[in-house]
Structure 1
Amino acid sequence: MAVIGTRGSPLALTQAHEVRSRLAQAHGVSQDAFAIRVIKTSGDAIQDRPLYEA
């Protein structure tokens, strides 16, 4: 199974689902052949100050 990494925002998830759909169609396989995994970074958790101050 291939994994598509994405951020968790609604836009990023929509784009990841579109990529999965197109990859599946291009390769003649089920969309289940591609998993979507949300990637979170310290930038997602630290919202109250610049990351260089973290």
Structure 2
Amino acid sequence: MPRCNDALAGMPLAMAYVPWQPAFNDTFPLCRALQNGTIFPELCKPFCGRRGGCR
């Protein structure tokens, strides 16, 4: 049974905004992509220790 006092009734649940991204030209080979978790070198951001400093 729907509630009459629901202020959000009938409104959409969510709306996503995804900006257009440029196409990446180079990709990792599949073996390296599996190790890095991405096929795109631009998205490969390895963890470098505490507080962003490599040790």
TM bin, normalised by shorter chain, reads under 0.3
The structure with more helix, counted as a fraction of residues: 1
Q: TM-score, normalised by structure 2?
A: 0.20
**Which has the larger Rg?**
2
The structure with more strand, counted as a fraction of residues: 1
Q: Which has the higher relative contact order, 1 or 2, with Cα contacts under 8 A spaced 6 or more apart?
A: 1
Q: TM-score, normalised by structure 1?
A: 0.20
